[in-house]
Amino acid sequence: MRILADKEIPYVNELFGLTNQLRQYEGRFLSDKHIKNTDVLIVRSITKVDYELLHDSSVKFVGTVTSGTDHIDQDYLEKNNVKYISAPGSNAIAVVEYVFSALFWLAHRDHFFLRDKIVGIIGVGHIGNLLNQRLNSFGVQTLLYDPYLSKINTDKSWKSLEILVSESDILTFHTPLTYTGSYPTWHMVNKDIIEALPSNKTLINTSRGEVFDNSALLKALDHGKKINVILDVWEFEPKLLLPLLFCIDIGTAHIAGYSIESKIRSIIMIYNAFCQYFNISDKINVSNLFPSFINYIRIKKMDEANINSLIKIIYNIYNDHICLKSYALNSGGFDKLRKYYFFRREWSSIFVDTGKDYTTEMLKNFGFSVF
**How far apart, in whole angstroms, are the C-alpha atoms of residue 305 and residue 314?**
15
Sign for the CA dihedral angle at 144, 146, 150, 154 comes to: negative
User: Quick check: 267 pLDDT over 90?
Assistant: yes
**How far apart, in whole angstroms, are the C-alpha atoms of residue 117 and residue 172?**
13
**How far apart, in whole angstroms, are the C-alpha atoms of residue 281 and residue 121?**
41
Which listed residue (126, 174, 208, 265) is catalytic? 208
Strand order in the sheet with 2-6: 21-25, 2-6, 40-43, 61-64, 83-85
User: Quick check: 299 pLDDT over 90?
Assistant: no
Instruction: Provide φ and ψ at 48, rounded to 5°.
Output: -80, 120
Query: Is residue 142 part of an annotated ligand binding site?
Result: no
Sign for the CA dihedral angle at 352, 358, 364, 367 comes to: negative
What percentage of the chain carries pLDDT values higher than 90?
Answer: 72
Q: Rg of the chain over CA atoms, in angstroms?
A: 21
Mean pLDDT of 271-295: 81
**Nearest alpha-carbon partner for 96 in 330, 328, 256:** 256
State the pTM of this model: 0.91
Beta-bridge partners for 23: 4
The CATH architecture of the domain made up of 2-86+259-288 is 3-Layer(aba) Sandwich (3.40)
Query: Is residue 349 part of an annotated ligand binding site?
Result: no
CATH superfamily label, 292-370: Erythronate-4-phosphate dehydrogenase, dimerisation domain (3.30.1370.170)
Q: What is the pLDDT of residue 212?
A: 99
Q: What is the pLDDT of residue 284?
A: 74
- Identify whether the C-beta of residue 73 lies closer than 8 Å to the C-beta of residue 50: yes
Query: Is residue 148 part of an annotated ligand binding site?
Result: no
CA 131 to chain centre: 12
Query: Is residue 360 part of an annotated ligand binding site?
Result: no
Q: What is the pLDDT of residue 149?
A: 94
String of DSSP letters for 195-214: HHSPTT-EEEE-S-GGGB-H
- Identify whether the C-beta of residue 286 lies closer than 8 Å to the C-beta of residue 271: yes
Q: Could you state, in order of their start, the residue ranges of all structural domains in the chain?
A: 2-86+259-288, 92-251, 292-370
What percentage of the chain carries pLDDT values higher than 70?
Answer: 98
| Residue predicted with more confidence, 253 or 15 | 253
User: Quick check: 82 pLDDT over 90?
Assistant: yes
237 is catalytic: yes
Query: Is residue 146 part of an annotated ligand binding site?
Result: yes
Beta-bridge partners for 296: 351
Query: Is residue 359 part of an annotated ligand binding site?
Result: no
Query: Is residue 258 part of an annotated ligand binding site?
Result: yes
Q: What is the pLDDT of residue 144?
A: 98
Helix, strand, coil percent values for the chain (each to nearest 5): 40, 15, 40
CATH 3.40.980.10 fits 92-251, yes or no: no
User: Which contacts qualify for 219-226: CB closer than 8 Å, 24 or more apart?
Assistant: 219/191, 220/191, 220/194, 220/195, 221/247, 221/248, 222/247, 225/194, 225/197, 225/199, 226/199, 226/200
pLDDT tens-place string over residues 99-136: 999 999 999 999 999 999 999 999 999 999 999 999 99
Per the prediction, the chain carries an average pLDDT of 92
Q: What is the pLDDT of residue 351?
A: 87
Which listed residue (14, 26, 237, 304) is catalytic? 237
**Cα–Cα distances in angstroms (integers) from residue 166 to residues 116, 120, 135, 207, in the given order:** 16, 10, 20, 21
Q: Assess whether the region 2-86+259-288 and the region 292-370 belong to the same CATH fold.
A: no
Mean pLDDT of 325-345: 92
Q: How confident is the model at residue 360 (pLDDT cuts 50, 70, 90)?
A: confident
**How far apart, in whole angstroms, are the C-alpha atoms of residue 314 and residue 307?**
12
208 is catalytic: yes
Q: What is the pLDDT of residue 357?
A: 66
Q: Is 86 left (phi over 0), alpha (psi -120 to 50) or beta?
A: beta
CB 310: neighbour CB atoms within 10 A? 19
Q: How confident is the model at residue 362 (pLDDT cuts 50, 70, 90)?
A: confident
**How far apart, in whole angstroms, are the C-alpha atoms of residue 66 and residue 342?**
18
Q: What is the pLDDT of residue 235?
A: 97
pLDDT tens-place string over residues 211-252: 999 999 999 999 999 999 999 999 999 999 999 999 999 999
Beta-bridge partners for 205: 173, 231
